[in-house]
Structure 1
Amino acid sequence: MQISLEEINKNNYEAVCDLEVTEAQEDFVACNMWSLVESFYNEDHTCRAIYLGDEPVGFLMWVRESVSKVSIWRFMVDKKYQNQGIGRSALTLAIRSIKQTPGVKEIEICYNPKNPVAKNFYSSFGFNEVGLDEDGEDMLSLIRL
Structure 2
Amino acid sequence: MNITLTDVNKSNYEDVCDLSVAENQYEYVAENMWSLVESKFNTSYQTRAICLDGKPVGFFMWVPETKQRISIWRFMVDQNYQNKGIGRNALLLAIDEIKRTDGLEEIEICYNPNNPVAKDFYATFGFVEVGMDQEGNDVLAIIKI
CA distance in 1, matches of 2:111, 2:42: 22
Residues 85-109 of structure 1: CA distance to partner in whole angstroms, max 9, x if unpaired? 0000000000000000000001000
Partner letter of residue 56 of structure 1? P
Is the CA contact 2:4–2:54 (under 8 Å) kept in the aligned structure 1? no
Q: How far does residue 34 in structure 1 lie from its aligned partner after superposition?
A: 0.3
CA distance in 2, matches of 1:19, 1:116: 21
Equivalent residue of 2:117, what SS? helix
Residue 16 of structure 1: aligned partner: 16
Residue 90 of structure 1: aligned partner: 90
Identity %: 61
Residue 114 of structure 2: aligned partner: 114
TM-score scaled by length of structure 1? 0.99
Residue 133 of structure 1: aligned partner: 133
Residue 49 of structure 2: aligned partner: 49
Aligned length: 145
Tell me, which stretches of 5 or more residues in structure 2 are unaligned?
Answer: none
CA distance in 2, matches of 1:106, 1:119: 18
CA distance in 2, matches of 1:141, 1:113: 11
- Shifted more, 23-32 versus 38-47: the winner is 38-47
